[in-house]
Each structure stands twice: as structure tokens, then as C-alpha cells.
């Protein structure tokens, strides 16, 4: 019950933060604090009556909730797909990397440090150029490099672009956390008892580093949500951010951000509840 109250409070504070942020353009443009709080109040009221909210589509007012669901789930598929693939690839490669000699691990970490410094737009451009190059050399079109309209769906290119940098972040963080965990006494004891290094790594060390990776993934997720806007603009994708940059009103920004945050908040809350419950049970044992 205590955990539920904490999570509910976090959700309400997240909504409040989004509403406060959505009013910032009013404050920046007019430099008027009263106008800012007036806009924040208006956005708050709009969120309470979200079912009546409208947006402009080619000069015609359309009901927001009636049109948003298909683009919304399309964007969620791209986001969830990119996050899931980045995490899985990073975890598998971390297990493989920790089986390698130290000097190779150092080289890999240096490469990852270089890769994480690359600008997002350069990564997106390189992915597009790679697909075009493969097509020119082999005649095989791996994926369309841009969507042709609202009904056209592309997945490979946006998911690849969105997952590359998070994959690098996860991979480097997992290596660092796992190396630190491998130096602990229980690992040496397990290896001394004859357990295989890979078994200890996968079933003991990974479990103990999972909580740290879970908390790290929250900041990576915010990075991915901000990059989703770039990906959808560059590849002409009709996703949820289409509504944010075609109807740049504070209430529209707040509504889209709240819709994006809700599913991830629920998933993270479920993981947090599981970790806390598991930790308490371990302490009791």
C-alpha cells in the first residue's frame, strides 16, 4: 500500500511537471509570470476535459482523442521496439565482453566512449546512407528510408536510429557495473567452488546489477522520447509527435507528453514494485 501511494504521488507530480513545462513558451515569449500561470491553469483545465480537446488538421478542427490512437500506438511500437532491442543486445554483448581478456575490454570501452559522443543527427544520416549503399551494391532494399504518408508504416529505419545510441549507453554502463560486481567476494567464492564464470555472470552478477540498470534506463528513456521527435520529422512518420509540431499549443504538447509517459510509467512502476518486493523478501531470508 505504501508503494502504491508513492507511485501514485510520482505519477501526479510527473503530470504536474509536464503541465508546468508546457506553459514555458508563454513565459519565454512574453516574459510575463502572470500570463505563464494563466496558461498553466488553462492547460490544466484542458487536461481535465481531454475528451473535448480539438486540434487543427489542414485548417479543420478535429477531435484529438478520436484521431490520436493509431499514430500513438505506432510511436509506442517504435519506442518500445528500440528500447527492448537496445537492452537485449547490450546485455548479450556484455556477457560476451566480460569473457574476453582485459586489454580487449579496454579497447571496446574506448570505442563505446567515442560512439556515445556522436551527434544524434549524424547517426540518423549514417543509417540512411547505409541503407542506400546496401541497395546500390546489392539491389536489396532493406527498408524504405522515409514514410510516404500517414497510412505508410516503416519500422526498421526508425527503430534502428532510435536504438543505436541507447544501446551504446546501456552496453557501456552494463560493462562498468558488471566489472565492479565481478570484483566482489561472493563472485570469487562462487568461482573458487568450481562454478563456471559464465554461469556466475548470467545468474548471479546480472541479477545484482539489474536494479542499477533499471534506474539508469529511466534517463535513457527520456533521451529516446526527445529523439522520437527528430526521428519522426526526419523520416516523415505520422506518429504522436506529428501533433506536437503541427499544432504547437501548450495543451497539445502536454496531452502528447502525458500519453507518452503513461505506459512507460506503468511498466517502470511494475518493475520497481517487483524489485522492492524481491529485495524485502531477500532481506527477510
**Whether this model's pTM surpasses 0.85:** no
CA distances from 238 to 209, 248, 267 (A): 38, 16, 25
> How many domains, the chain?
2
Measured over the CA atoms of residue 148, residue 124, residue 172 and residue 214, the dihedral's sign is: negative
Q: Are 80 and 123 in a shared domain?
A: yes
Given a cut of 70, is residue 106 above it in pLDDT? yes
Q: Which residue has the higher pLDDT, 31 or 35?
A: 35
- Tens of pLDDT, residue by residue over 69-87, are 999 999 999 999 999 999 9
User: Does residue 61 fall inside a structural domain?
Assistant: no
Return the percentage of the chain with pLDDT > 70, whole number.
94
- Using CA atoms, how far apart are residues 182 and 236, in angstroms rounded to an integer? 45
- Do residues 45 and 75 both lie within one domain? no
| Chain-centroid distance, C-alpha 170 | 11
pLDDT band for position 285 (cuts 50, 70, 90): very low
Please report, rounded to a whole number, the percentage of residues in the chain having pLDDT higher than 90: 20
pLDDT reading at 118 higher than 60: yes
- In DSSP notation, 126-167 reads HHHHHHHHHHHHH----S-SS--STT----HHHHHHHHHHHH
Distance CA 116, CA 252 (A): 32
Question: Whole domain around residue 273: which residue ranges?
Answer: 1-52+254-284
* Inside any domain, residue 17: yes
Per-residue confidence at 95, pLDDT binned at 50, 70, 90? very high
- Together in a domain, 94 and 235: yes
Give the per-residue pLDDT at 278.
Answer: 65
Q: Specify whether 81 is located in the same domain as 200.
A: yes
- Half-sphere exposure (Cβ direction) of 35: Cα atoms closer than 13 Å: 10
- 63 in a structural domain: no
**Residues 220-237 as b or e (16 or more Cβ within 10 Å = b):** bbeebbebbbebbebbbb
pLDDT 10s digits, 207-220: 888 888 888 888 88
43 lies in the same domain as 149: no
Amino acid at each position: 500500500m505504501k508503494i502504491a501511494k508513492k507511485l501514485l504521488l510520482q505519477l501526479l507530480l510527473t503530470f504536474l511537471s509536464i503541465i508546468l513545462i508546457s506553459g514555458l513558451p508563454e513565459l519565454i515569449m512574453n516574459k510575463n509570470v502572470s500570463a505563464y500561470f494563466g496558461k498553466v491553469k488553462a492547460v490544466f483545465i484542458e487536461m481535465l476535459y481531454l475528451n473535448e480537446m480539438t486540434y487543427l488538421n489542414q485548417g479543420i478542427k478535429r477531435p484529438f482523442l478520436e484521431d490520436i490512437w493509431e499514430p500513438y500506438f505506432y510511436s509506442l511500437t517504435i519506442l518500445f521496439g528500440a528500447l527492448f532491442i537496445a537492452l537485449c543486445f547490450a546485455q548479450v554483448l556484455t556477457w560476451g565482453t566480460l569473457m574476453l581478456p582485459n586489454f580487449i575490454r579496454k579497447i571496446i570501452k574506448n570505442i563505446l566512449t567515442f560512439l556515445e559522443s556522436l551527434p544524434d543527427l549524424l547517426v540518423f544520416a549514417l543509417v540512411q546512407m547505409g541503407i542506400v549503399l546496401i541497395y546500390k551494391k546489392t539491389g536489396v532494399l532493406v527498408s524504405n528510408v522515409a514514410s510516404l504518408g500517414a497510412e505508410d508504416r516503416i519500422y526498421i529505419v526508425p527503430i534502428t536510429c532510435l536504438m543505436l545510441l541507447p544501446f551504446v549507453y546501456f552496453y557501456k554502463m552494463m560493462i562498468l557495473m558488471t566489472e565492479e560486481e565481478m570484483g566482489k567476494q561472493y563472485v570469487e567464492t562462487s568461482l573458487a567452488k568450481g562454478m563456471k564464470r559464465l554461469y556466475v555472470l548470467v545468474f548471479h552478477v546480472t541479477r545484482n546489477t539489474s536494479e542499477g540498470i533499471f534506474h539508469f534506463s529511466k534517463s535513457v528513456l527520456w533521451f529516446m522520447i526527445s529523439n522520437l521527435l527528430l526521428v519522426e520529422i526526419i523520416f516523415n512518420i505520422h506518429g504522436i509527435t506529428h501533433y506536437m509540431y503541427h499544432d504547437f499549443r501548450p495543451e497539445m504538447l502536454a496531452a502528447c507528453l502525458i500519453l507518452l509517459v503513461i505506459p512507460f510509467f506503468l511498466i517502470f512502476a511494475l518493475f520497481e514494485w517487483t524489485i522492492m518486493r524481491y529485495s524485502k523478501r531477500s532481506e527477510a531470508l
